[in-house]
Amino acid sequence: MEVTEKKVNVIECCHKFFLMVKELHHRGFEKLRIIPHISNTGMYWRCFLAPKQMISKHNGAHWGRSVRAWDYPLFFPAEGFMFHTSDREYIRYSEWEKLSIRAMADLFQRDFSDMLDICKGEDKEYVEWYADMLQIIGNNEVPVAYDNGDDDFSYLYWESRGLRTVGEKIPIPPVGDAE
């Protein structure tokens, strides 16, 4: 008997993730931010989720200076709809392709309720920026705030990237509250 591994449609997975975040904003968690980046190897796109309070008040695309990124959920689309947690565990939403955006948001709200409690509240400027970012990336690209291989963290924009392309520049998100 031959065992075949199901390939993940990474772009589809990412866009479902983006829509899940939009749904969470709609539910009142407007201070929920994304921090998308390329891994150290340059092979994988990943995305942290964090409250506005952990994002730099100098550059909305970066963490505050004393923030430990690994204390926040990290989305890994290459492995399916999977999150790395601050407890160094993994949460995978099986059969994510069949779940609605609302069902995905329900699961995330259940699994990360402590963090989402901090994200409760209005942040109209970020929600508008997020909607604009979704328009720019369309259905075939993902945003990239930084590349872990870079030493330059003074970016004035994000990039949109497809499977093999670098696309449009995306204005950086509004600043956060962390030093």
Say if residue 55's pLDDT is above 50: yes
Can you count the helices (H) and strands (E) in the chain?
4, 9
Say if residue 124's pLDDT is above 70: yes
Q: Report yes or no on 115 lying in a domain.
A: yes
CA distance 142 to 11: 8
Higher pLDDT, 75 or 81: 75
pLDDT band, very low/low/confident/very high, at 92 (cuts 50, 70, 90): confident
pLDDT tens across 95-122, in order?
A: 888 899 999 999 999 999 999 999 999 9
CA distance 146 to 143: 9
Q: Report yes or no on 74 lying in a domain.
A: yes
- How many structural domains does the chain have? 1
Task: Give the burial class of 124: count Cβ atoms within 10 A of its Cβ; 0-12 exposed, 13-18 middle, 19 or more buried.
Answer: exposed
- For 40, 41, 108, 153, 161, the CA distances from 21, given in Å and listed in that order, are 25, 26, 9, 25, 19
Q: Report yes or no on 3 lying in a domain.
A: no
Domain holding 125, by residue range, is 10-171
pLDDT band, very low/low/confident/very high, at 146 (cuts 50, 70, 90): low
CA distance 100 to 51: 24
Q: Report yes or no on 135 lying in a domain.
A: yes
pLDDT band, very low/low/confident/very high, at 4 (cuts 50, 70, 90): very low
Q: Report yes or no on 140 lying in a domain.
A: yes
Q: Report yes or no on 27 lying in a domain.
A: yes
Q: Sign of the C-alpha dihedral, residues 130, 70, 62, 116?
A: positive
CA distance 48 to 73: 6
Q: Report yes or no on 138 lying in a domain.
A: yes
Q: Residue 40 region, left (φ>0) first, then alpha (ψ -120 to 50), else beta? A: alpha
Output the six-digit token pair for 157.
């924009």
Q: Report yes or no on 62 lying in a domain.
A: yes
